[in-house]
Structure 1
C-alpha cells in the first residue's frame, strides 16, 4: 500500500472550474522566455471563475487540435509586439516589433477553437489577431494623442494613465451586460483596426475618432468577443471591463454544457 496521501482532495467533476487557455508571448532578455502578465490571469479566476492554463507561443509545441479537446475557452492577451503586416497584406514599413511565432499560434489555435464551438476572447493585440483571422486589416497610423499612450521605456503603471472615451453600440452585448452607453478606458496600443473582419459585429468605438474598440461574433455557436483597451487593468472601476470578464465566465460555463 502506498504511503502517499494527497493533502488536497479531488473535486467532483461538476465542482471543477472551467479551463481557459491564455496565450503567452515570446520575450527576450538574455534568452527567449514565454511570458504573460499576471494581470491577465487574476480576473479570469476572480470574476470569470476559471482555471487558467498558459499556452506557449511556440508553434512546434502547440498542437491546436489536441488543445481544443482540453480547453473550454481561449484568451488572446495584449503584447508589446504587433501582428506582422504579412498576415493581413499591409505595408511592412513601421510595423514595429513583431512576434511571428505568437501570430502563428494565435491564429491557428483560435481558428480551431472557434470551429470547435469554444469561446475565444481577445484583449488589445488579441482583438487585432481575431480581426485578421476574420479577414480584416490593421493600421499602424494611429493618432498618438488619442491611442498610443507612452513610450515603452516609461514607468509601467503610467502606460495605463492614457485614457479616452468610448461609445458602446446600442444593441451590443457589452452595452447590455454593462448597463452603460459609454465609458472612459485606457489606451495603450500602436496598432488598430483599419477594416473590420467579415461576420464581426461592432460593439464599441472611440468617441473622438471612431476607431473600433470592440467587436463580437458567434460563427459556430460560441462567443467571440474582443476589446482594444485593457479591461484587466481597470476592472475595479469600469463597468464595461467587468462585463467583459462576466461574459467570459458565462461563455465558459456554456461551453462545458
Structure 2
C-alpha cells in the first residue's frame, strides 16, 4: 500500500550508489528495485548519493546533501566492505591496491557509506540498511565481519549464498527462516516471531557492535537484523533483500512502510524546526 501524502509533505531519502569501472570509465550505479520499493511502498522520493573518491572525502558537500534529507538507505552490493576505509573515509589504500574490483571491493562506496552513516546518526534521521548496508552499519560502530560464511560453516555457506543456477528473479525467493526478537524494534513491524527471507551474501556479522541490538537471526545463529541502540527514530538494517519482492512479500512491504512513516515523521519535525 502506497502512502498517500501531498507532494509538499513527501519525505526525501538518500540511497547509496556503487562504483562501476568499465573501460577505464567510472560510473555510479544503482539497481532500480530499491527506488521502486521506496516509491511504491515507503511513499518517499529518492535522491541517489554519489560514491566518493579519497581526495574528495574531506569535502563537505556530502554533509550539505545529508542535511536536506529525511532518511538514508544503505543498499546491497556484491562487493565486500573494507573496514579501514569505511571508518576513515579520507584514508588511502597502498599504491599497489585497486580501489575497485568487481565483486570484491568498492572503496568509493565504503567512503560514501562511512560519511553518510556518520551524518545520519548525528542528525538522528531514519536509516534502513539492506544486506551490505547491515554489514556497513556493524563495521561503522566497531563490529567485525566473517570474511566467508562457507569457511565458517559449510551449511551456512550453502544457506546464505547466491543461487547462481537459478534465474535472477528466482535467486531472491525465500531461502531460510529467521527468528525475530519479540521485544525489539523489528517485531512491531513484522508482527511475528518467525518469518521466511531470501539470502544472497558471502559475508556476515561475526562480532556485533555494542551500539547495535540483534533483532533477528538465522537457524545457524547468524545475525539477520539489527537496530541502533537508543535511536530517536527507526534505524534498522536487515541482511536479506526486502526490495526484490516488496509487492508480494508481506514482511518486505511492512518494512518499507514503517521506514516511510519514520521518514515522513522526521520530515515534519524538520519542518517545524525550519529545516534545520
| TM category, shorter | 0.7 to 0.9
Residue 148 in 1 paired to residue 141 in 2? no
Count of residues in Structure 1 that have an aligned counterpart in Structure 2: 238
State whether residues 106 and 129 of structure 1, in contact with CA within 8 Å, keep that contact through their aligned partners in structure 2. yes
- Tell me, in whole angstroms, the C-alpha distance in 1 between the residues paired with 2:45 and 2:246: 19
| TM-score (ref. length: structure 1) | 0.85
Aligned equivalent of 1:227, options 211, 222, 238: 238
Residue 37 in 1 paired to residue 26 in 2? no
| TM-score (ref. length: structure 2) | 0.79
The DSSP-based 3-state class of the residue aligned with 1:201 is: strand
Residue 187 in 1 paired to residue 199 in 2? yes
Cross-structure match for 2:185: 173
Pick closer, same or farther for the CA change 1:76–1:132 going to 2, 3 Å.
same
Shift of 1:173: 2.1
The DSSP-based 3-state class of the residue aligned with 2:28 is: strand
Residue 127 in 1 paired to residue 134 in 2? yes
Cross-structure match for 2:113: 106
- Tell me, in whole angstroms, the C-alpha distance in 2 between the residues paired with 1:166 and 1:220: 23
State whether residues 87 and 132 of structure 1, in contact with CA within 8 Å, keep that contact through their aligned partners in structure 2. no
State whether residues 116 and 220 of structure 1, in contact with CA within 8 Å, keep that contact through their aligned partners in structure 2. no
- Tell me, in whole angstroms, the C-alpha distance in 1 between the residues paired with 2:249 and 2:6: 33
Shift of 1:82: 0.9
RMSD (CA atoms): 2.3
State whether residues 88 and 135 of structure 1, in contact with CA within 8 Å, keep that contact through their aligned partners in structure 2. no
Aligned equivalent of 1:18, options 11, 16, 20: 11
Cross-structure match for 1:28: 21
- Tell me, in whole angstroms, the C-alpha distance in 1 between the residues paired with 2:11 and 2:235: 17
Uncovered stretches (5+) of structure 1, i.e. residues with no partner: 1-11, 90-95
The DSSP-based 3-state class of the residue aligned with 1:47 is: helix
